[in-house]
Structure 1
Amino acid sequence: MDRDKFFKDALEFVKEKHKGQVRAGNVPAWHHLARVSGLLSFVLEKHGECGGQERSIIVTAALGHDVLEDTKVTEKEVMAVFGPRGSEIIKSMTNKWGDKNVMPYVKQVAGSEEAVRLVKLSDLYDNHISVVYNLHILGLKWTHSYFLPIVTPMRLAVTKTKFKKFKKTAEELVSLVNSAAFLLDGEIRRFEEKNKKRP
């Protein structure tokens, strides 16, 4: 397997499939996917808990973690780009129940293999940090009524799961996620205080 080509092909695939999708501040959605993959790659490499082809498959699957949920791509296309293991990780990361019914998805991810939970931890970190920096755009109402009801049950469930193969990587990601949630809580309080002081 040519790992560089595998990753680059997947990146081009997600950029094309998520084309036109933006997050807060008109940032292309694929930037989030690249950050999630990059963080996971860095922490896995730092702790040396997997390498070579296995790491390549996991961090490349992280690039595609939203593709089945947020685009019209088919499972066949995902299989062709990410391979059998990568496509299984992506399928396990896909919420089939919608954002208003979060608990089935929380149970799915929390009960998934370690690689899926690592991707979710990286995803949770980036989502929390994105809201910290974009709260002035997204607003308190959106954060309280939409974002937190989705991410809080997931964070509480996944951070409590056990890891054997990727223990150190998971410990660092859990710490990052909890720190990001703490930062967001502080930013929300700051915004609420600021709003109270307005005439």
Structure 2
Amino acid sequence: MDLKQSIINSINVKEKVLQNSDLLHRLEDAITLCVESLKSGGTLFFCGNGGSAADAQHLAAELSGRFNYDRNPLSAEALHCNTSFLTAVANDYGFDYVFSRLLQANAKEGDVLIGLSTSGNSSNMIQVFQTANEMNVKSIALTGLDGGKLKNYADILLNVPSNQTPRIQESHILIGHILCEYIEKIIFPMK
């Protein structure tokens, strides 16, 4: 077992993120978009499949709960937390619509959709991003290497320079934590 090599591989992907000035500029744009939405009474809606669903729920909780310090809650929600809704929609309409139907029911112009997808090609993710576009809801996609099909629908693409799912997910948490950190700092500056 070469445990150190696994750690080095993870660090190498994060080094690529660090060196990608275009990606960092798009991350700044994402932070600004989220701050503007939240300051104007908007909500951030997160979604993802599998491990990305867990990461999406985690990031929503960092904002609606707390991240680094006590402050008022921010309006952030993961679209996949209601299992009764998910299973009903999957059964009645198909799994492609589990996120888009809930976004359609709850989102409004000025809100932001944040989707995590390592491939950028999951059909339910494409559907929710198309729905966001139809509703004039801005969107941010966290993906892997080339962004997959989501790059065609997202207002802001944050694509991790890797094609390995675990490394992409690790970097999504890094990017997501930076997003939460700066949203919190900007909206609730420490006195």
Between Structure 1 and Structure 2, the one with more helix by share is 1
Between Structure 1 and Structure 2, the one with more strand by share is 2
Same fold by TM-score greater than 0.5: no
TM range (shorter): under 0.3
TM score, norm. by length of structure 1: 0.25
TM score, norm. by length of structure 2: 0.26
The structure with the larger Rg is 1
